[in-house]
């Protein structure tokens, strides 16, 4: 995520969170036989987007052949891992609301009996100026309206009692008629209508762009004997969910374009609107972006269709995010394991100073084009957000309590991206955050919860830049081959689950040994193990 923190980053250095490596392009080794490495030739390929007529020239230096440990064999998208959401949604631009009916086939994957359910209703927080900075600019008509929930109903037709927390009113507790036992499935239905604030945010409507994220009451995570109730973070991340399957039908005006998490199966146009039928199995969440002024460029790389949406006649922006998407999906697939989904959507949209990631979809703010003449910042932010498809999407994390497991890794993917496209990097950046450096010696340990940081800047610096530096130095110490073998094992082992700090440390120790003085020196410098 680069949301408002981009403004902080750019004021420090051109974009201090964007780390461009000057190291030689890494050579990854994938494949089956650990003892065989094939020689490859340098190739140049030219591709043409059918939608735009533009020509992209891609330079490929060395086609990598991977030696992947058995533990890190390619992983594939899976269905039935979590809950099943069946959603009928309408986007109503005239009234500026999103409404719908949601049926959830809930599975209790814990050892505890559930007497109630906790849902998170994040749109309700966008009226609170203490929680959402932009709310000061939200029209009065949008401020006092919370998400309206008509009912919660269980599978027997029983209407269930529910109440909203009086302090954090994104928290909604539903009292069950009958408990849900461990391993049991149970269906809940609810109807909702949420106002869309007039702001250029990850949830908002602005200049004809409808960013519809975290818009439906979503079932929270149950762990350690209780439902997660971590507060909303406007500066950073707080969305914490398990992998689930989504079947979604969305109604929009006829002249709207729309892209979302998952695949659009078909689109039906009628006199009263356009109906989008979408299937999104094995997704961390469901998000869509819509509007009447979006245009599409697309390209396929390594079996993944990359769709880049740009606004109006801004085709240069569209080409920039498409090129970054092609380079990122290829590079990250080589580094961390092949992207398991059939497509990914990249949107230029009204999003203040940055980008935002969701399952199968990333938002890139139009304003980013003004930070560089050559769209380099646009591309770098696109790479960061696509890095989140692995670190948050494929591997889930608790972004409130362990934000570095999300943002440090996404920031490190910028280095991978830079290696591939051949960008140079100011080495003083890493020197500044390395051992014995001023910033390094005075940095905050990266493994802190959000509420343990004294400021948003400290949170940003630690979770993004300092954690990124740690991964950089680990790669330097381990060597490219071992490091990327280790990363692919880490991703493969925990794909579609949720990781903790110990999960990452354990895989490092497996590869390097628990008593490796150099590796422990790096870890001890950046991580507080007390």
| Mean pLDDT, range 208-226, rounded to an integer | 96
In this predicted structure, the answer to whether residue 49 has a pLDDT above a threshold of 70 is no
- Using an 8 Å Cβ cutoff, are 410 and 19 in contact? no
pLDDT band for position 483 (50/70/90)? Answer: very high
**Given pLDDT bands bounded at 50, 70 and 90, which one contains residue 78?**
confident
Q: What is the pLDDT of residue 124?
A: 85
Can you tell me the mean pLDDT for 493-515? Answer: 95
The whole-number pLDDT of residue 183 equals: 95
Please name which of 503, 480, 529 lies closest in space to residue 29, comparing C-alpha atoms.
480
pLDDT tier, 427 (very low <50, low <70, confident <90, very high otherwise): very low
Instruction: Assess contact for 199 and 137: CB atoms under 8 A.
Output: yes
Q: What pLDDT score was predicted for residue 140? A: 58
Q: Are strands 97-107 and 84-92 parallel, antiparallel or unpaired?
A: antiparallel
Residue 503 confidence (pLDDT): 97
Q: What element of type H or E holds 484?
A: helix 480-494
Cα dihedral 402/404/407/410 (nearest 10) = -120
DSSP letter (8 states) at residue 29: -
pLDDT tier at 118, thresholds 50, 70, 90: very high
Percentage of the residues of the chain whose pLDDT score is greater than 90: 67
Question: Is residue 129's pLDDT more than 50?
Answer: yes
b/e map of 435-455 (b: 16 or more CB within 10 Å)? eeeeebeebbbbbbebeebee
pLDDT top residue among 502 and 143: 502
pLDDT at 292: 96
Q: Which residues contact 217 (CB under 8 A, 6 or more apart)?
A: 102, 119, 120, 121, 147, 149, 172, 190, 192
pLDDT confidence band for 18 (50 / 70 / 90): very low
pLDDT of 303: 92
The answer to whether the CB of 151 falls within 8 A of the CB of 190 is: yes
> What does the pLDDT read at residue 436?
60
User: Does residue 335 have a pLDDT over 60?
Assistant: yes
Do residues 55 and 45 touch, judged by C-beta distance below 8 A? Answer: no
Distance between CA atoms of residues 429 and 469, nearest Å: 9
Cα–Cα distance for residue pair 216/147, rounded to 1 Å: 9
Buried b (16+ CB within 10 A) or exposed e, 266-303: eeeeeeebbbbebebbbbbbbbbbbbebbbbbbbebee
- What average pLDDT does this structure show over 70-78? 69
pTM for this prediction: 0.85
- The rounded distance, in Å, linking the Cα atoms of 108 and 116 is 12
For the stretch 343-386, pLDDT in tens is 999 999 999 868 999 999 999 999 999 999 999 999 999 999 99
More confident residue, 436 or 114: 114
Does the pLDDT of residue 164 top 50, yes or no?
yes
Alpha-helical regions (H) of 302-437: 315-336, 376-387, 404-421, 428-432
Smallest CA-to-CA distance from 464 within 404, 506, 393, 399 is with 404
**pLDDT score recorded for residue 432:** 59
106: nearest Cα among 88, 124, 82: 82
Confidence band (pLDDT; 50, 70, 90) for 226? very high
Instruction: For each of the domains in the chain, give its residue range(s) and CATH number, in order of start.
Output: 84-241 (2.60.40)
Is residue 53 over pLDDT 50? no
pLDDT of residue 422: 81
Identify the weakest region by mean pLDDT among 66-75, 279-288, 439-448.
66-75
For residues 96-112, average pLDDT:
97
Mean of all residue pLDDT scores within the chain: 83
Separation of alpha carbons 153 and 159, rounded Å: 4
**Which pLDDT score is estimated for 199?**
86
Task: Tell me the Ramachandran region of residue 436: left when phi exceeds 0, alpha when psi lies from -120 to 50, beta otherwise.
Answer: left
Q: Determine phi and psi for 363, rounding to 5 degrees.
A: -105, 135
CA dihedral for 344, 346, 350, 353, sign (positive or negative): positive
Q: State yes or no: pLDDT of 43 exceeds 50.
A: no
């Amino acid at each position: 995520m680069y949301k408002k923190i981009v403004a902080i980053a750019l004021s420090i250095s051109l974009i201090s969170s964007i780390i461009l490596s000057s190291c030689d392009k890494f050579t990854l080794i994938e494949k089956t036989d650990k003892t065989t490495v094939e020689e490859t030739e340098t190739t140049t390929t030219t591709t043409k987007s059918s939608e735009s007529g533009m020509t992209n020239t891609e330079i490929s230096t060395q086609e990598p052949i991977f030696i992947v440990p058995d533990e890190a064999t390619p992983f594939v998208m899976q269905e039935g891992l979590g809950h099943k959401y069946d959603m009928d949604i309408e986007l109503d631009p005239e009234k500026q609301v999103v409404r719908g009916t949601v049926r959830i086939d809930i599975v209790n994957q814990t050892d505890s009996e559930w007497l109630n359910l906790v849902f998170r209703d994040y749109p309700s927080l966008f009226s609170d100026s203490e929680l959402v900075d932009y709310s000061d600019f939200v029209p009065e008509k949008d401020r006092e309206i919370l998400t309206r929930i008509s009912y919660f109903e269980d599978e027997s037709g029983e209407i269930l009692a529910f109440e909203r927390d009086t302090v954090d009113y994104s928290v909604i507790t539903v009292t069950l008629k009958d408990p849900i036992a461990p391993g049991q499935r149970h269906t809940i239905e609810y109807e909702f209508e949420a106002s869309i604030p007039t702001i250029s945010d990850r949830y908002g409507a602005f200049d004809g762009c409808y960013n519809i994220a975290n818009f439906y009451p979503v079932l929270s995570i149950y762990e350690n004997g209780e439902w997660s109730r971590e507060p909303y973070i406007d500066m950073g991340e707080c969305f914490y969910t398990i992998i689930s399957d989504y079947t979604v039908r969305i109604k929009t005006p006829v002249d709207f374009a729309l892209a979302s998490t998952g695949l659009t199966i078909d689109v039906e146009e009628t006199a009263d609107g356009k109906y989008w039928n979408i299937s999104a199995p094995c997704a961390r969440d469901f998000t869509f972006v819509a509007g009447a002024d979006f245009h599409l460029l697309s390209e396929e790389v390594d079996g993944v269709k990359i769709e880049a949406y740009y606004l109006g006649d801004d085709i240069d922006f569209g080409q920039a995010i498409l090129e970054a998407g092609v380079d990122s999906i290829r590079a990250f697939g080589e580094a961390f394991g092949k992207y398991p989904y059939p497509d990914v959507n990249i949107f230029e949209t009204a999003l203040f100073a940055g980008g935002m990631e969701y399952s199968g979809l990333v938002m890139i703010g139009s304003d980013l084009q003004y930070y560089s003449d050559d769209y380099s910042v646009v591309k770098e932010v696109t790479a960061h957000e696509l890095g989140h498809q692995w670190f948050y999407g494929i591997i889930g994390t608790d972004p409130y309590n362990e934000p570095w497991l999300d943002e440090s890794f996404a920031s490190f993917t910028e280095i991978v991206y830079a290696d591939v496209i051949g960008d140079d990097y100011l080495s003083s950046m890493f020197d500044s955050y390395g051992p014995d450096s001023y910033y390094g010696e005075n940095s905050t340990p990266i493994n802190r919860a959000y509420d343990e940081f004294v400021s948003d800047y400290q949170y940003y610096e630690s979770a993004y830049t300092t954690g990124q530096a740690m991964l950089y130095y680990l790669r330097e110490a381990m060597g490219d081959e071992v490091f990327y073998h280790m990363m692919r094992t880490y991703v493969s082992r925990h794909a579609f689950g949720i990781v903790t700090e110990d999960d990452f440390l354990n895989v490092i120790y497996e590869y390097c040994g628990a008593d490796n003085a150099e590796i422990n020196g790096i870890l001890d410098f950046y991580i507080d193990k007390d």
